[in-house]
Amino acid sequence: MTIKEIAKLAGVSSAAVSRYLNGGYVSDEKKEQIKKVIDETGYQPSAQARMLRTKKACLIGVVVPKINSESISRITAGIEKVLSERNYQMLLDGTDNTPAKEIEYMRLFENYPVDGIILVGTMITAEHRRFLKESKVPVVVIGQHTKYANCIYHDDYGAGEAMGCAVAAKSRKEIAYIGVSREDKAAGAAREDGFREGLKRSGKELKDGYYKVAEFTTESGYEKVLELLNEKHDIDIISCATDTIAAGAIEAIHTYAGSQIPKNVEDTGSRFRYILENTSIQVTGFGDNQLLKAVTGGIPTVHFGYKTSGIRGAELLLDVIERDESIPVEIKLGFRLANIDDPEENIED
């Protein structure tokens, strides 16, 4: 099906169909005629033809650290919502939390070509900064604060501080923290620094030996917490930098205790809830993972607007592409504590 054939069926000129497809002026009557034919025939303009007409591919490259993550799913859902509403398509690549692959995939997208790139970043290295400064297409970074591109990021320091205050108010023994690499300035450095400050404000501290660094996996969380529990025996709260790590922490507590889970509990899928109800150690996280909430009843955690960050990031990128806006934009999103009393009533939602 061609534009000429669509025009013939609609009883209008080929120029009118072309203007309709490209968002140009067409009378309401002709719009209805063209739309009816397109709906009836299922006509889809080819990507090559659209690119020739509009000088745009209407494609956005999206680079994410991993595909099998609830937070990433929420971000990409927000991105997809905006792109589909504005007639763009998304090309998605996962990097398995490998910063070098982020650079590789961004260069691949840049030469594809796409109209712009969204990077859901784990860290901003010197190579990242070089690419962001030299990129031939607009780039928006989600999840990390950077001066080298438009960015949407969360208040990880504030979230860590709020969680630190909250757990300090509940702890009667020692508090432990399972962090991630500080090369990740958001989930690593900012959350940890904020958490330490929250403890300090409340008259507590994160003592030497009560801190471990994990990978972004349940397995790593399990290993690090089991190590910790075998070394320290006076912990009543373990705070984890992500809910995924927290899930591993819960399993580690069960292994350390050496108790058996009743068959009727296993059969009903209440394993995590049973472990938490039968231990003196509380586990907290960051991310408000809905699957973990379903199997635990909800651990104390921090809710971030991941879908909102995807929406705002996509809107920002398309505004740059379509309006040629070059003013640097940095947007910091808020947070809220979930499943825990918040001692700071004025914390931003």
pLDDT confidence tier of residue 309, bands split at 50, 70 and 90: very high
pLDDT of 345 over the 70 cut: no
pLDDT of residue 46: 60
**Among residues of the chain, what percentage have pLDDT more than 90?**
72
Please report the sign of the dihedral spanned by the C-alpha atoms of residue 12, residue 15, residue 16, residue 22.
positive
Closest among 256, 260, 317 to 281, alpha carbons compared: 256
Alpha carbon distance 303, 209 (integer Å) = 28
175-207: burial string, b at 16+ Cβ within 10 Å, e else: bbbbbbbeebbbbbbbbbbbbbbbbeebebebe
pLDDT of 344 over the 50 cut: no
pLDDT confidence tier of residue 18, bands split at 50, 70 and 90: confident
Q: In this predicted model, what pLDDT tens digit does every residue of 123-141 receive, in sequence order? A: 999 999 999 999 999 999 9
Rounded to whole angstroms, the maximal C-alpha distance in the chain is 81
pLDDT of residue 21: 79
pLDDT of residue 42: 84
pLDDT of residue 166: 97
Q: In this predicted model, what pLDDT tens digit does every residue of 25-83 receive, in sequence order? A: 889 998 999 999 898 888 876 655 555 455 677 999 999 999 889 999 999 999 999 99
Contacts 24+ apart (CB under 8 A), 200-208: 200/164, 201/161, 201/164, 201/165, 201/168, 202/164, 202/165, 202/168, 202/169, 203/168, 204/164, 204/168, 204/171, 204/175, 206/175, 206/176, 206/177, 207/174
pLDDT of residue 145: 96
pLDDT of 334 over the 90 cut: yes
Tell me if residue 238 falls in helix, strand or coil: strand
pLDDT of 327 over the 80 cut: no
Round the CA-based radius of gyration of the chain to a whole number and report it: 25
Higher pLDDT, 325 or 84: 84
Domain positions in the chain: 3-54, 59-154+306-335, 156-303
Whether the CB-CB separation of 166 and 194 falls below 8 Å is answered with no
Higher pLDDT, 27 or 327: 27
Q: How much is the average pLDDT of 86-102?
A: 93
Pick 59-154+306-335's CATH classification: 3.40.50.1440, 2.40.50.40, 1.10.10.10, 3.40.50.2300.
3.40.50.2300
Whether the CB-CB separation of 229 and 176 falls below 8 Å is answered with no
pLDDT of residue 20: 84
pLDDT confidence tier of residue 348, bands split at 50, 70 and 90: very low
pLDDT confidence tier of residue 262, bands split at 50, 70 and 90: confident
pLDDT confidence tier of residue 229, bands split at 50, 70 and 90: very high
pLDDT of residue 341: 62
Topology agreement, domain 3-54 and domain 156-303: no
Tell me if residue 304 falls in helix, strand or coil: strand
The kind and range of the H/E element at 59 are strand 59-64
Mean pLDDT of the chain: 91
pLDDT of 170 over the 80 cut: yes
Higher pLDDT, 323 or 47: 323
CATH superfamily of 156-303: Response regulator (3.40.50.2300)
CATH superfamily of 3-54: lambda repressor-like DNA-binding domains (1.10.260.40)
